Structure 1
């Protein structure tokens, strides 16, 4: 294989991965072809050709009615096969449900994926007005969102600075109201109080409350967050929700230790 062919093959794989990430981020509503080729910075014919190949392999499906693209069944099968022996989502899901039941609000589980935060779990409370700020699979820069900021708060300052530098261009482009000064204030508050309160940048009137989940290596493995109307996360409403969130995280961290010890005995 020539160097040129190798370069071309690598580029195709990168483009496939980019399109899959875009579809993953918007899988709940699906994506139109025009949104995909604009979002990927590719031509329409190139994007269409790659999508048809992904559809043929079962990695992507196209709805016959609205013509939008969604993740295919093979992605789910691969995800199940790739799941680590210690599945954070399985450990956290009962706690998400418990916090949602106790608070009435929507609860999210966020993990780090490189320079991004990714929502991998959600539970809905009984309060009739839902704060669906994140779909499962939604990916954002690690500086954006309560759960992501909670993860950052448990990292060393120099690592936070590197993440900010790497994400700066797309944050300034996509999140113009973002404030670096406010980010550091929230991180410091989280380190002191054990939780932070964040104004959701994409939706007016919605707040999130988040707490990091610390793994057995004293590194953050994720974060639990609550999203609700601003008045539900302010004033006297905060104390009970902080307690619910922190108790859930403490239980998760205890179960992570138990799971780690159990795996060492095998």
Structure 2
């Protein structure tokens, strides 16, 4: 099974079968194919480069490469969903949708309380929609001190080979 119980304390733990299933998903997602590209971009920029994939109504970071060799490094865990309301990745993905769809998507995910984000995070849906409008015009999204003080990021969507739908987001932070 995917879960096993510890006989000493009766607590449940995830099994290695679940981990193996996760690795199978990553192999089929193309993350292994794109890793050299992420590595090169991280080396050239000296920044964290991440790939997020769209999975239904979620944008999940599945691959990364850290370009910073010293000093302050931003290096969050992979496998987390990208917060849509205040990240460059979230804004890039939301900008690929209509305003109504974007707001519905944010509502489904929820909004982090103001104390959990940077000082430049959007403070209203009106402000968010203005940022999405700018991202649509530019073809990419930028944030500065939106997630946390001292951080900035830029992100653009990755489209399917025929360009009909968004399959992921590439970000540099």
Q: Give the TM-score of the pair, scaled to structure 2.
A: 0.76
Of the three residues 122, 125, 138, the one matched with 1:193 is 138
- What is the aligned partner in structure 1 of residue 77 from structure 2? 135
Hey, which bits of structure 1, 4+ residues long, moved more than 6 A? none
Cα shift readout 1:67-100 (whole Å, capped 9, x = no counterpart):
xxxxx53322112334575x23123212111111
Which residue, out of 124, 143, 151, partners 1:206?
A: 151
| Contact persistence 2:89–2:141 (CA under 8 A) | no
Aligned residues: 161
Distance 2:114 2:54 in 1: 21
Residue in 1 that maps onto 2:66: 124
Q: Is the 8 A contact 2:99 2:129 kept in 1?
A: no
Within 5 Å, which residues of 2 pair with 1:111-260?
A: 111-168=53-110, 170-172=111-113, 175=116, 177-179=121-123, 180-215=125-160, 216=162, 218-227=164-173
Corresponding residue number in structure 2 for 1:91: 33
In structure 2, stretches of 5+ residues that fail to align are 4-8
Q: CA RMSD in A?
A: 2.8
Higher share of residues assigned strand:
2
Q: Which has the higher contact order (CA 8 A, sep 6+)?
A: 2
After superposition, the Cα gap between the structure-2 partners of 1:101 and 1:188, relative to the gap in structure 1 and judged at 3 Å, is: same
Q: Of the two, which has the highest radius of gyration?
A: 1
Contact 1:171 1:178 in 2 (8 A): no
